[in-house]
A and B are shown apart, each in its own frame.
Chain A
Amino acid sequence: KNEVEQSPQNLTAQEGEFITINCSYSVGISALHWLQQHPGGGIVSLFMLSSGKKKHGRLIATINIQEKHSSLHITASHPRDSAVYICAWQAYSGGGADGLTFGKGTHLIIQP
């Protein structure tokens, strides 16, 4: 059972549109990561969040710990933003942090 729900699974948008990808998880977490994967496999970490909001360039990530929900926003989207976006969370249990649990990813295509 996948404990990380991402939506939408697929998203096609026009260049310049504001993009939102959502991630919901089921337990208390120590950290949530947003990752970007381009064709060919390489994964880049975009954000690591434990609370609040972070911004980097056109990307914004927010997390609401009480609602167990995080969002990734892309402003002024561009075709080079086309990629798979994956959220992953990490919980504490027993003697420390668990390994990451991943969502199934959002396939984003930005058309010129």
Chain B
Amino acid sequence: KAGVTQTPRYLIKTRGQQVTLSCSPISGHRSVSWYQQTPGQGLQFLFEYFSETQRNKGNFPGRFSGRQFSNSRSEMNVSTLELGDSALYLCASSLTGTSGNTIYFGEGSWLTVV
């Protein structure tokens, strides 16, 4: 079956703009989680959604937001982009959540803010 699909794969944005990233989970998976990876901070948890509800949120400013649709697809949005938001953004899906389930990662979206 198809894996986790993230779009777009690469994008360049200007400071102050906003960006929306999309994640389609594996069919049947109801949990989608998002992560930011940078060389300095490594992998950091952004948020997790389950059945259209945000279940957990990491320690990121309110400029980072997300949502999940009834088909489990998820989007994350970053408003008022800053240079430090340049990162690899990964989403992962699992059946019911990252506790007790194998998680499957997408290939990621590489965001460069200039």
A97 to B92, CA, bound (A): 16
A79-103 vs B: 1/0 string, CB under 8 Å?
A: 0000000101010100011111111
A81 to B78, CA, bound (A): 35
Contacting pair A86 B107 (CB below 8 A)? no
Residues from chain B with Cβ under 8 Å of A90 in the complex = 98-99
Partner of B101, one of A48, A86, A99: A48
Question: Which secondary structure dominates where chain B touches chain A?
Answer: strand
Residues from chain A with Cβ under 8 Å of B55 in the complex = 96
Quick check: is B62 within 8 A (CB to CB) of the other chain? Answer: no
Q: Given contacts A99-B45, A102-B42, is CB(A43)–CB(B90) below 8 Å?
A: yes
Expressed in whole angstroms, the minimum distance between the Cβ of B65 and any Cβ of chain A is 15
Contacting pair A45 B99 (CB below 8 A)? no
A-B contact count (CB 8 A): 66
A35 to B56, CA, bound (A): 21
* Contacts of B86-105 to chain A: CB distance below 8 A: 88, 90, 92, 97-105
Quick check: is B28 within 8 A (CB to CB) of the other chain? Answer: no
Contacting pair B98 A41 (CB below 8 A)? no
Contacting pair B107 A42 (CB below 8 A)? yes
Contacting pair B58 A45 (CB below 8 A)? no
Residues from chain B with Cβ under 8 Å of A98 in the complex = 56
Residues from chain B with Cβ under 8 Å of A92 in the complex = 99
A35 to B90, CA, bound (A): 13
Contacting pair A50 B104 (CB below 8 A)? no
Contacting pair A97 B108 (CB below 8 A)? no
Contacting pair B103 A30 (CB below 8 A)? no
Contacting pair B48 A99 (CB below 8 A)? yes
* Contacts of A1-20 to chain B: CB distance below 8 A: 2
A–B Cβ pairs within 8 angstroms, 13 of them: A30-B99, A33-B103, A35-B105, A41-B110, A45-B103, A86-B42, A90-B99, A97-B97, A99-B33, A99-B56, A99-B57, A99-B98, A105-B42
A contact residues vs B (CB 8 Å cutoff): 2, 30-31, 33, 35, 41-45, 48, 50, 86, 88, 90, 92, 96-105
Name the 3 nearest CB pairs between A and B, nearest first: A99-B45, A97-B99, A102-B43
